[in-house]
Structure 1
């Protein structure tokens, strides 16, 4: 399972770098900082999946999860949200080192 979480973390990190690169290119072209919200990036990539997630959260889980929590996350910059998700997935898949050391019996 650690391998799966670490690979998912790597995928999220790649997506975060791509989003940050696109924001940097747009910022240089506009001569002003531009940060693309996660909702805009997600709806451009896959509008059906964002509608599915919204429907699932509102109808099957709890409507209060969509209004304050999910809408706040979707309004944040895509690169930052993806970096946080990558960090959380990496932390789940992290293997702790032994306390005593490598060569103890």
Structure 2
């Protein structure tokens, strides 16, 4: 059951990565220049209030050092890359290996 949840989250993240790639491609065609949207810009365009809430929560409840170098580096990364890597990680966690017993057994 837990593997199913991880795989479902992986497919959702992959869908978000594809949507972000299509949006960046459309913006690039419209601007006649390569446009790559950062995760911060995407998040603020969807919900600026939740972005501010997460920022203040991390700065007050966790170390502020955690926000400045690490989170700012992640938030400056392209949205496509962040969601694609997250999808890969979640799918690897939820991956079910093939059963090797009986692989070479006579049928």
TM-score with structure 1 setting the length: 0.90
Aligned to 1:69: 70
Secondary structure of the structure 1 residue equivalent to 2:52: helix
- Give, in angstroms, the shift of residue 100 of structure 1: 4.3
Cα deviation digits, residues 38-91 of structure 1 (max 9, x gap): 000011111122122212211112111100000011011111111111111111
Q: Which runs of 5+ in 2 are unaligned?
A: none
Instruction: Provide the aligned C-alpha RMSD in A.
Output: 1.5
Asked if 1:6 is matched to 2:7, the reply is yes
Aligned to 1:27: 28
Q: 2: CA distance between counterparts of 1:98 and 1:82?
A: 30
Q: Which runs of 5+ in 1 are unaligned?
A: none
Cα deviation digits, residues 17-38 of structure 1 (max 9, x gap): 0010000001011111000010
Secondary structure of the structure 1 residue equivalent to 2:27: helix
Q: 2: CA distance between counterparts of 1:101 and 1:33?
A: 52
Corresponding pairs, count: 104
**1:45/1:103 CA distance change after superposition, 3 Å:** farther
TM-score with structure 2 setting the length: 0.89
**1:2/1:30 CA distance change after superposition, 3 Å:** same
Asked if 1:38 is matched to 2:36, the reply is no
Secondary structure of the structure 1 residue equivalent to 2:12: helix
Aligned to 1:54: 55
